[in-house]
Amino acid sequence: MAFDLLIRGGRLLDGTGSPALRADLAITDGRIGAIGALSEREADAVIDASGRFVAPGFIDEHSHSDVTFLVDPHAQSMVRQGVTTLIVGLCGMSAAPVTDETREEYRRGAPLFGFDGYEWSWDSVAGYMETVRSIRPSVNVGTLVGHQPVRAVATGAASRPATADESAQMARLIEEALEQGARGFSTGLTYQHTVFADTDEIVAAAKPLKRHGFGYHTHMRGQAANLLKSVREAISIAERAGCPLVISHLYPAGREVWGQAGAAVELVEKARERGVDASWDVTPWLRGGGPLAQSLPLWMREGGLDATLERLSDPELRVRAGAELESGTDGTSMRPDWDDYLVCRANLPENRGWMGRTIGEIAAERGEPPVDAAMKMLAEDDAGFWIAPTIKCDADIDMLLAHPLGVPTADAFALSPEGPLAYQDRPNSYGTFPRVLGRYVRERGVLTWETAVQKMTSIPASRVGVWDRGVLRPGLKADVVVFDPSTVIEKADYERPQEYPIGIDWVVVNGEVTVSPQGHTGARAGEVI
């Protein structure tokens, strides 16, 4: 019997970290049918992988594409990187659960859901997953359950720690989400209203994870002066809740704390010695990215988005907030360098001319001091615009990425340079995984090919309990990437963030060729996992 697809002549990196093996790989009925010397076997289609590596499809364990593939199911910017599986619901912001009372305020206030072109018709994780399944995206999708929506249901988005009864209600909501297929629980402890949660609240909410065997993924309190304190809190939460820990996008943020990666790693390693299954992911870009509003002092953020916008309309309060932001006195944010604070996303269409320019440049054009311009821009953009400052250094990122516990992640969106998602964002959305292969393996030798592929496949798969992907083995799902080790590299940068990478020749999702040398084939074979 003929195979559906035969990939022959390549060197297989099977995802386990084992040395590359020259072998052919056959696919039938959406699964890997055989591996070995298969060149004489018949197949309906053949890919010549001579001079290429053949690897499992890459898994991004930290994606914010929760609704972008509802707008455009082709997930162009991700699948063309070789990403075949996206895990969403990170940083405390999942698409469910919501109620009729919380849905619209959450959609308006959470920075990940402000895209046009989709209808929010679900209220539960099960409903969200069914919606994703119905649109048939080009990539596989799994979700965590986020702290922000369950907290909004339980507390009304209160600007205070939850009560014991409210924490218990959150735990019940999280239990329901896990039973419906969520693959973990996430927090974003710098974002609106969840910033007011205390440690006890999160521990109580996280306790259902132990029974289900899934992890606690956290965007911590801060990564500047309070980096190590934040790591200690994250470890404490996982230890008390009895669950695995994944620290999201771990790095020291800002020159004042560069070099503290080693101390953060030591805290994690000591926790593992005590039996805590702790690890992290890291974005391999020196610029960060996120809403400037999350750097506002807490008093500006009490009462929700409308209260924040009302305070931003008051010139005296803007001046006070700007002075506190510039001083960095709360320890959660680094002191801003306005000439380096690049605007990478705007909430309102009329402000998208800011993107690709620094706040310093915009302020000079407006004839205003940068801090005043920044505060006014927040008011003008419904507190929604994002900045991408240079907050990391190579030495820290190299250490965190090379360590056995660190995996690369894009922390970005599935976008497209054409259609409803065609607006500027950070290059993370288009080039992260080819960047790891091209720069951190081929050019700089921070990782080997085998280790890099393992960190992008089997390790993230195990963290979210995906056991039929992430490794090349007969019988497993046929998610496969064929890439050229001599050319693979990102082309996107902060001036041209919407460029597809080169060197990712073929991408197969559940046995369907989704990317070929001619581009996206139109295939939409992704599954909900």
pLDDT computed for residue 375 by the predictor: 93
Residues 403 and 327 in one domain: no
Give yes or no for residue 298 having a pLDDT over 90: no
Sheet holding 184-188: strands in order across?
Answer: 145-146, 184-188, 215-219, 245-247, 278-282, 406-408
Residues 152 and 205 in one domain: yes
Give yes or no for residue 516 having a pLDDT over 70: yes
pLDDT computed for residue 304 by the predictor: 82
Residues 46 and 164 in one domain: no
- Region 63-92 average pLDDT: 98
Q: Which amino acid is at 426?
A: R
pLDDT computed for residue 41 by the predictor: 92
Query: For the chain, what is the domain count?
Result: 3
Least confident of 111-115, 279-283, 369-373, 447-451: 111-115
Helix (H, G, I), strand (E, B) or coil at 290: strand
pLDDT band at 328 (very low <50, low <70, confident <90, very high): low
Residues 121 and 236 in one domain: yes
Q: What is the pLDDT of residues 379-396, one digit of tens each?
A: 999 888 989 999 999 999
Residues 399 and 518 in one domain: no
The mean predicted confidence, pLDDT, of the chain is 95
Q: How far apart are CA 146 and CA 105, in angstroms?
A: 16
Between 241 and 344, whose confidence is greater?
A: 241
Residues 185 and 334 in one domain: no
pLDDT computed for residue 335 by the predictor: 78
Residues 61 and 199 in one domain: no
**27 CB-near residues (< 8 Å, 6+ apart):** 3, 4, 5, 6, 7, 33, 478, 480, 508, 511
Q: What is the pLDDT of residues 83-125, one digit of tens each?
A: 999 999 999 999 999 999 999 888 887 778 988 899 999 999 9
Q: What is the pLDDT of residues 188-239, one digit of tens each?
A: 999 989 999 999 999 999 999 999 999 999 999 999 999 999 999 999 999 9
Question: How many Å is the Cα radius of gyration of the chain?
Answer: 22
User: Domain limits at 198?
Assistant: 90-135+143-289+391-418
Read off the CATH number of the domain in which 160 is found.
3.20.20.140
pLDDT computed for residue 305 by the predictor: 83
**Positive or negative torsion for Cα 231, 236, 237, 241:** positive
pLDDT computed for residue 74 by the predictor: 98
Residues 221 and 113 in one domain: yes
Residues 131 and 12 in one domain: no
Q: pTM (2 decimals)?
A: 0.94
Residues 336 and 204 in one domain: no
Q: What is the pLDDT of residues 343-368, one digit of tens each?
A: 988 888 899 899 889 999 999 999 99
- Region 59-79 average pLDDT: 97
In percent, how much of the chain has pLDDT > 70?
Answer: 99
Burial class (CB within 10 angstroms; exposed 0-12, middle 13-18, buried 19+) of 200 = middle
In percent, how much of the chain has pLDDT > 90?
Answer: 83
Q: Which residues pair with 247 in a beta bridge?
A: 218, 280
